[in-house]
Amino acid sequence: MTMGKYAADISSIKEAHARIKSLIRKTPVLSSNSLNDISRRKLYFKCENFQKSGAFKFRGACNAVFSLTDEDASKGVITHSSGNHAAALALAAKLRGIPAYVVTPKNVPICKLENVKRYDGKVNFSEANIRSRDEVAYILRQETGAIFIPSSNDGRILSGQGTISLELLEQAPQIDTLVVPISGGGMASGVALAAKAINPSIRILAAEPKGADDAAQSKAAGRIITLPEVNTIADGLRACLGNFTWPVVRDLVDDIITVEDSEIVKAMKLCFEILKIVVEPSGAIGLAAVLSKTFQKNDAWKDSKHIGIVISGGNVDMAVLWNYLNKSK
Amino acid sequence: MTMGKYAADISSIKEAHARIKSLIRKTPVLSSNSLNDISRRKLYFKCENFQKSGAFKFRGACNAVFSLTDEDASKGVITHSSGNHAAALALAAKLRGIPAYVVTPKNVPICKLENVKRYDGKVNFSEANIRSRDEVAYILRQETGAIFIPSSNDGRILSGQGTISLELLEQAPQIDTLVVPISGGGMASGVALAAKAINPSIRILAAEPKGADDAAQSKAAGRIITLPEVNTIADGLRACLGNFTWPVVRDLVDDIITVEDSEIVKAMKLCFEILKIVVEPSGAIGLAAVLSKTFQKNDAWKDSKHIGIVISGGNVDMAVLWNYLNKSK
């Protein structure tokens, strides 16, 4: 396989698809006339909340785990994650019959923790900061010899997440614009690489919480910016770009829109009430972005008529969802 | 069209499908390894909560409204309904460009009422009893000359609802058993008629709340039994069988299982947490039935390995859902 200037390309994404196709779910695409009316566009929701493990993360994790040689795989895999990548990796490891060690902060949403345990992931808690996380992970790697699988910044992960575009642009080829959440940039990069290879004129818009807008700041500065702290309800969007994801985001993501947490909550409510789907805050941000004034009033996006929105995941505690929705009244 | 012994047959159902195909949504079929494990079967969820108007009722309403002659249609349509049929009829009428008059009890769920209004249905309230409902409807019909479209007991409605089977048995032809909610019997009848015409060996199981078990009592007695009052959280399952639906239920529905409201709530919770979909109580009853001891321990159903479950609708107020789920802890 010839690899271009990035950590993944359309070939590696197609190879990933061939590798994981029988393991992942081909998620459906939903639409709603009411939401089309509200947004004044035609929206196509790619429901990765229905993906195995409840989030798109299973695509990348699966591709990484099933790319390992038998020898490497035999010692197991390890990661740190706020939740969805951890559960996805645990499930992928379980399917390959190897152990998965997971370092997770103590403040992880309960349902995400339960997901990791459901798939027999071996949970190790750290404090909710990077230093503690890295320490716990370092010790575990020393002890087990397990292979580290990052949540975003990895070619195998990018290639796995890119399979979303392969499916979606086959399910709704009329799509002219794709809106994706951005955090570590694994999904945004994979989706952009695949989509622009299939249709060079397609536009990619990433959506980011205002309280964790490192990607938007990085795009503006032309280099990776990291934030000393982040503040958003979108627990899946608190990571920052890495050296493999940044070049793709820099070159192929056309713009990044930031939205308030209150806009995310409103979008979650619309997903619940109109689409009848359960979406976590990170998963609702694409809809929030499309409904935002920033998007609606920006002439640059007025020709975006058929918009694919990736609903990234559905792992939200009922009690938490209820609290959010109540606060938004 | 030759009609057999019932108010609908496979020909009228196929005609209905041709009539409404471009208007309805072909809803996706979801599945879950976790729920397969819990139920010890393979389950195929036909997600009519994603149907336009949020419930399967749109199929029948659409078929009825678009079957009318222009002259009949011109005066509009009228119905009484606890909610989903009302909204479905309003939407179908709106699409045909005619008025829809809706008589609805004062205790209708808010989101269902909002649905009716969203589609420009003209709402008229009655008390929550049959006498008041019929009085209000009678006066309205006199005033408007609108055509009455029943929610269940009507051949056009049966034919419309039967299109669920046409889609589902094409999407998952391995299905050997279909589980459907039963109330007025329109969906159970339509689904049974179509499914048994396509695959005579398929089995139909209807699910009914214990607090509104008129259909189960009717099957046991061999004649229509009506109840003086009903008591269930499943607001869509409080109607009783009629002269067109009863013969089909009597002959083609293999059995009726009754479940407690608490089992319905548990099933709603599983839909929320595992399938990531929003389901109203009536819509969760099929899963509740399959997970019930009554089903799991009954040898008659042990050969049901591939079970299609119709998720009838998703119109539930968030606050109500939360209350139910909290009570079930």
Lookup: tokens for B323: 């209350």
Same domain for B92 and B137: yes
Active site residues of B: 57, 82
pLDDT of res. A111: 83
The answer to whether position B186 is within a domain reads yes
Residues of chain A found within 8 Å of residue B34, distances taken between Cβ atoms? 118
What single string gives the DSSP state of each residue in A140-169? HHHHH-PEE--SSSSHHHHHHHHHHHHHHH
Tell how strand A42-47 and strand A29-30 pair up: antiparallel
Contact B85, B62 (CB under 8 A): no
Same domain for B100 and B144: yes
The answer to whether position A306 is within a domain reads yes
Residues of chain A found within 8 Å of residue B318, distances taken between Cβ atoms? 269, 272-273, 322, 325
Residues of chain B found within 8 Å of residue A111, distances taken between Cβ atoms? 273
Same domain for A51 and A35: yes
Instruction: Assess whether pLDDT exceeds 60 at residue A2.
Output: no
A50 touches chain B (CB under 8 A): yes
Phi, psi dihedrals of residue A155, rounded to the nearest 5°: -60, -40
A91 touches chain B (CB under 8 A): no
Q: What separation in angstroms does the CA of B170 have from each of B47, B111, B209, B313? A: 15, 32, 29, 21
Q: What's the mean pLDDT in A100-112?
A: 88
Contact A50 B111 (CB under 8 A): no
Instruction: Assess whether pLDDT exceeds 90 at residue A9.
Output: yes
Instruction: Report, as ranges of residue numbers, the positions in chain B whose pLDDT lies below 50.
Output: 1-2
Residue with tokens 């209000």: B136
B265 touches chain A (CB under 8 A): no
Contact A314 B276 (CB under 8 A): yes
Q: What's the mean pLDDT in A145-157?
A: 96
Residues of chain A found within 8 Å of residue B314, distances taken between Cβ atoms? 276
What does pLDDT average to over chain B? Answer: 94
Domain boundary residue among B148, B165, B187?
B148
Same domain for B265 and B182: yes
Contact B103, B128 (CB under 8 A): no
B240 touches chain A (CB under 8 A): no
The percent of residues above 90 in pLDDT, for chain A, comes to 85
pLDDT of res. A105: 87
Same domain for A158 and A51: yes
CA B298 and chain centroid, separation:
25
Strands (E) across chain A are located at 29-30, 42-47, 77-80, 100-105, 122-126, 147-148, 177-181, 203-209, 255-259, 306-311
The answer to whether position B41 is within a domain reads yes
pLDDT of res. A3: 54
Same domain for A48 and A71: no
Contact B272 A318 (CB under 8 A): yes
Question: Which residues constitute the domain of residue A103?
Answer: 58-148
What single string gives the DSSP state of each residue in B143-200? HH-PEE--SSSSHHHHHHHHHHHHHHHHH-TT--EEEEE-SSSHHHHHHHHHHHHH-T
Same domain for A173 and A65: no
B277 touches chain A (CB under 8 A): yes
Contact B30 A49 (CB under 8 A): no
Per this entry, what is the length of chain B? 329
Question: What does the buried/exposed string (b/e) look like for B200-225 if buried means 16 or more CB atoms within 10 Å of the residue's CB?
Answer: eebbbbbbbbbbbbbbbbbbeeeebb
Domain boundary residue among B122, B148, B174?
B148
Same domain for B224 and B120: no
Top residue of A118, A272, A276, A311 to mutate, by most chain B CBs within 10 Å, is A276
For residue A76, give the CATH number of its domain. Answer: 3.40.50.1100
Count of domains observed in chain B: 2
Q: What's the mean pLDDT in A240-253?
A: 96
A1: pLDDT confidence band, cut at 50, 70 and 90? Answer: very low
Domain boundary residue among B117, B148, B179?
B148
Higher pLDDT, A56 or B317: A56
The answer to whether position A3 is within a domain reads no
Q: What's the mean pLDDT in A46-57?
A: 97
Residues of chain B found within 8 Å of residue A272, distances taken between Cβ atoms? 278, 318
pLDDT of res. B329: 55
pLDDT of res. B65: 98
Residue with tokens 């992928």: A92
Considering only alpha carbons, which residue of chain B is nearest residue A30? B50
Its ipTM equals 0.92
pLDDT of res. A4: 73
Tell me whether residue A57 is one of the annotated catalytic residues.
Answer: yes
Contact B325 A318 (CB under 8 A): yes
Nearest to A278 among B272, B322, B325 (CB): B272
Q: How far apart are CA A259 and CA A308, in angstroms?
A: 18
Same domain for B167 and B97: no
B54 touches chain A (CB under 8 A): yes
pLDDT of res. A50: 98
Same domain for A188 and A222: yes
pLDDT in tens, B276-302: 999 999 999 999 999 999 999 999 999
Nearest to B30 among A50, A275, A278 (CB): A50
The answer to whether position A20 is within a domain reads yes
Residues of chain A found within 8 Å of residue B54, distances taken between Cβ atoms? 276
The answer to whether position A1 is within a domain reads no
pLDDT of res. A53: 94
Q: What separation in angstroms does the CA of B42 have from each of B30, B167, B192, B222? A: 11, 18, 20, 32
Considering only alpha carbons, which residue of chain B is nearest residue A269? B318
Considering only alpha carbons, which residue of chain B is nearest residue A52? B32
The answer to whether position B107 is within a domain reads yes
pLDDT in tens, A219-228: 999 999 999 9
Q: What's the mean pLDDT in A238-267?
A: 96
CB within 8 A of B43, min separation 6: which ones? B31, B32, B35, B36, B287, B290, B307, B309
Contact B50 A275 (CB under 8 A): yes
Same domain for B245 and B214: yes
Instruction: Assess whether pLDDT exceeds 70 at residue A199.
Output: yes
Helix (H), strand (E), coil (C) string for B100-153: EEEEEECCCCHHHHHHHHHCCCEEEEECCCHHHHHHHHHHHHHHHCCEECCCCC
Q: What's the mean pLDDT in A115-120?
A: 92
Q: How far apart are CA A84 and CA A56, in angstroms?
A: 8
What does pLDDT average to over chain A? Answer: 94
The answer to whether position A5 is within a domain reads no
Same domain for A141 and A235: no
Contact B52 A34 (CB under 8 A): no
Catalytic residue among A53, A82, A159, A312: A82
Instruction: Assess whether pLDDT exceeds 60 at residue A123.
Output: yes
